Amino acid sequence: MEKSQKRRVDPEALKKEAAEAALAYVPKGCVLGVGTGSTTMYFIRGLKKGWVRGAVPSSKESERALRKKGIPVLDLNQAKKVSVYVDGADEVDRRMRLIKGGGGALTREKIIATAANKFICIVDESKLVKRLGKFPVPLEVVPMARDQVAKEIRRRGGRPVWRKNFMTDNGGEILDVHGWRVTDPVKKEKELEGISGVICAGIFGKRRADLVLVGGPLGVRKIKGGRGIRW
């Protein structure tokens, strides 16, 4: 009993359960959008060869994993439409708005999530928050603008930390911004993406998730619609 209790609360086991639950939402023959991160990796592992027409990955890492599984990889420009996008998150609030970009793939993630008819977010329950912002907000920036953007962020009360020795798949750099309580995610996202030199902010307020599958000790919870949710 002690052994099985341990297995149920292991965050990796919970991520895996949420990821496997998402497989049931992938229509046969569809074009699938695939995110980045450890939870998404469990999802990719569960995909069956031949099930989807092709997949649009949000990173080179996910692209490699998809190719290994024999799943055709599509460029977003080739894919006429993306039916479902499946990805993890660093934080999820009660209205299914997210912080993403812990793995640095936020820009492509936001592009594919925006292109998709449906965005399914897969997380373990440690990612659920009342208000976004405990997890630092990642910003992808143009390298030459890094210091200028950092200065602007400090002026707005944030503490930017440069993710040294990290380059995104787009050749960008990441500033992780600490110290913000994100009370209005849509407004904050718009404000940050209006700063010259910012490519993308890791707040998904405008394009939030349509469905969140949450792995917890009692199984996988489905959160939909953003109403009447308590955690």
Kindly state the smallest distance separating residue 85's Cβ from ligand 5RP, in Å: 11
Kindly state the smallest distance separating residue 146's Cβ from ligand 5RP, in Å: 19
Residue 19 near residue 43 (C-beta atoms within 8 A): yes
Nearer to ligand 5RP, 85 or 180 (CB): 85
Beta-carbon contacts of 89 under 8 Å, excluding residues fewer than 6 positions away, are 98, 99, 100, 121, 123, 127, 204, 209
Q: Is 193 a catalytic residue?
A: no
Kindly state the smallest distance separating residue 121's Cβ from ligand 5RP, in Å: 8
Nearer to ligand 5RP, 105 or 137 (CB): 105
Kindly state the smallest distance separating residue 36's Cβ from ligand 5RP, in Å: 4
- For residue 52, CA distances in Å to 19, 30, 74, 86, 188 come to 16, 5, 11, 13, 36
Nearer to ligand 5RP, 147 or 166 (CB): 166
Tell me the three state secondary structure of residue 74: coil
Residue owning tokens 């912002």: 133
Q: Rounded to an integer, what distance in angstroms lies between the CA atom of residue 99 and that of residue 134? A: 10
Q: Tokens standing for 215? A: 């792995």
Nearer to ligand 5RP, 36 or 83 (CB): 36
What are the φ and ψ backbone dihedral angles of 155, each rounded to 5 degrees? -60, -30
Kindly state the smallest distance separating residue 186's Cβ from ligand 5RP, in Å: 18
Nearer to ligand 5RP, 53 or 134 (CB): 134
Q: Rounded to an integer, what distance in angstroms lies between the CA atom of residue 133 and that of residue 203? A: 9
Burial zone of 209 (CB within 10 Å; 0-12 exposed, 13-18 middle, 19+ buried): buried
- For residue 209, CA distances in Å to 11, 165, 179, 182 come to 21, 31, 24, 17
Active-site pick, 63, 91, 109, 125: 109
Residues in touch with ligand 5RP (CB under 6 A): 35-39, 87-90, 100-106, 109
| Residues belonging to the active site | 109
